[in-house]
Amino acid sequence: QLQLVESGGGLVQPGGSLRLSCAASGSTVDDYNIAWFRQAPGKEREGVSCIAASGVTRHYVDSVKGRFTISRDTAKNTVDLRMDSLKPEDTAVYYCAADWGPHSLMCTVVAGRYNNWGQGIQVTVSS
């Protein structure tokens, strides 16, 4: 059973950067599509980015394109989300999630496709 733990959140000023890390145990991230989601207070959970198991495809929602970068380190069994030029509207609890799919060429940020979730980590962008 894959287990996911997020780290790297915190408080940052607008325009700043954070790097979130999703550490996997129990299985290898290579066999999963991995996605990052976020949920702001009073709002629904939304997909942010994903990386396919094959590593070929990375997807970003429009609101984070050019600012966020998803990457995978198979040696460390982690998937990171580098967040630059942060805005107050990026404030949310961020979750990583995994969907079993060895060799998958595509990924999605539809939450219903994912059945392994981390506990979430707070990111606050404020001056």
What are the pLDDT digits (tens) for 66-93? 999 999 999 999 999 999 999 999 999 9
**Nearest residue to 34 via CA among 82, 79, 81, 93:** 79
**Nearest residue to 37 via CA among 55, 18, 20, 54:** 20
- Per-residue pLDDT at 1 exceeds 90: no
Return the CA Rg of the chain: 13
Between CA 94 and CA 62 the distance in angstroms is 17
41-58: average pLDDT: 96
| Cα atoms found within 13 Å of the Cα of residue 14, Cβ hemisphere only | 5
- Binning pLDDT at 50, 70 and 90, where does residue 34 land? very high
- Per-residue pLDDT at 28 exceeds 90: yes
- Binning pLDDT at 50, 70 and 90, where does residue 121 land? very high
- Per-residue pLDDT at 97 exceeds 90: yes
Q: Tell me, what amino acid is at 127?
A: S
